[in-house]
Amino acid sequence: MTLIARLAALAALLAPPAALAEPDPADWDAVLAEARGQTVYWNAWGGATATNAFIRWAGDTVEARFGVTVEHVKLSDTGDAVSRVLAEKTAGKDTGGAIDLIWINGANFAAMKEAGLLFGPWAEELPNWRYVDVAGKPAVTSDFTVPTEGLEAPWAMAQVVFYHDTARLPDPPRTMAALLDWARAHPGRFTFPQPPDFLGSTFLKQALYGVVDDPDLLQQPVEMADYAAVTAPLWVFLDELTPQLWRSGRAYPQTGPRQIQLMADGEIDLAISFSPGEASTAIANGQLPDTVRTYVLEGGTIGNASFVAIPYNATAKAGAMVLADFLLSPEAQARAQDPDVLGYGTVLAMDKLSEADRARFAALDLGIATLSPEDLGPALPEPHPSWMTRLQDDWIARYGVAD
């Protein structure tokens, strides 16, 4: 071997290893090959038995078909996962991160995107993306007004509904003003989850929609509006409503599912949900009586999509993409829409599916408490994420109670 050849060989031995190429969803066969044997740590809300069961089913199916193990890391607050990724970045841990996939949307997505904590773009290259209803459901590409730009993949549609027991409340209030009048006449019979719980903060936004003069202002960052003037009617409304709530507003359910138990126990007559099929699912599971029904407010209710995102330093990016793609499959979407399972809305367009896959959805009995798409009506757009952050902080300062 010549001297030059020996020096070249020595340089090769001493050189730092080349960085591994990131998995490319455009080469799906390579993604599948890399994913096999990986373990995906999916950080997702763990506050409902039905949701946990669906995640377990999805994990078991992905493991059986693709050799990807899924570990559900149960969260009570998605912000905890965001904080962990940020801490890893601050510490210089740019590979080998503890989180591979996050169930995310809204302010948490905006924060991760702005801080450069997300891998991608990747979502719109997934094989099952071709079925997504991009035209009919703009929320799948715009998360609380923030463009997703392929950094997260949708997997469920949601819209605010209210559910009530018709045996005790046959004609529920259909505006925020009517809700206040009804609450005065029936003190203690309504509540909502305690912010910063996501559903509780959503009630604040829905109430703001009900009293604001110019809803278009909510599509801009809160800093661009006269916040005090815009929200003044909301605080007047809440000042009057709070003493009329369950336990006089001195305590709140900590989660959405806790409202189901309160209604089943006869403590409340009216509750809020972000899942149009939740009441039907609870009836099917024996958690609520079959006299419970769902309705929406006049003028519409807030709708959005749930997403999954991959942190920039995830260990199992390929496995995370395989799981995200499976969640977009007609099989998984139809199962999630089944009220006996979850009752979530689908992100898919029926006219993009095969006849057999359309039949999966057509065969579903959405349940006696679930509104038809026509009765559900169009969804109001989510306000910019900065509104939720500011509203929940101010609510806590004004009305917050100890856990």
Domains of the chain and any CATH numbers:
24-156+304-371 (3.40.190.10), 161-303+379-399 (3.40.190.10)
Given a cut of 60, is residue 20 above it in pLDDT? no
- Structure confidence at residue 4 (pLDDT): 37
User: Which tens digits make up the pLDDT trace of 103-132?
Assistant: 998 889 999 999 999 999 999 999 999 999
- Does the pLDDT of residue 17 top 60, yes or no? no
Residue 6 above 80 pLDDT? no
Residue 386: band (very low, low, confident or very high) from pLDDT cuts 50, 70, 90: very high
Predicted pLDDT of residue 253 = 96
SS3 labels along the chain: CCHHHHHHHHHHHHCCCCCCCCCCCCCHHHHHHHHCCCEEEEEEECCCHHHHHHHHHHHHHHHHHHCCEEEEEEECCHHHHHHHHHHHHHCCCCCCECCCEEEECCHHHHHHHHCCCECCCCHHHCHHHHHECCCCCHHHCEECCEECCCCEEEEEEEECEEEEECCCCCCCCCCHHHHHHHHHHCCCCECCCCCCCHHHHHHHHHHHHHHCCCHHHHHCCHHHCCHHHHHHHHHHHHHHHHHHCHHHHCCCCCCHHHHHHHHHCCCCCEEEECCCCHHHHHHHCCCCCCCEEEECCCCCEEEEEEEEECECCECCHHHHHHHHHHHCCHHHHHHHHCCCCCCCECCECHHHCCHHHHHHHHCCCCCCCCCCHHHHCCEECCCCHHHHHHHHHHHHHHHCCCC
Res. 10: pLDDT tops 50: no
Give the model's pLDDT for residue 374: 80
Question: 179 pLDDT band (50/70/90 cuts)?
Answer: very high
Model confidence pLDDT, tens digit, residues 311-369: 999 999 999 999 999 999 999 999 999 988 988 899 999 999 999 999 999 999 989 99
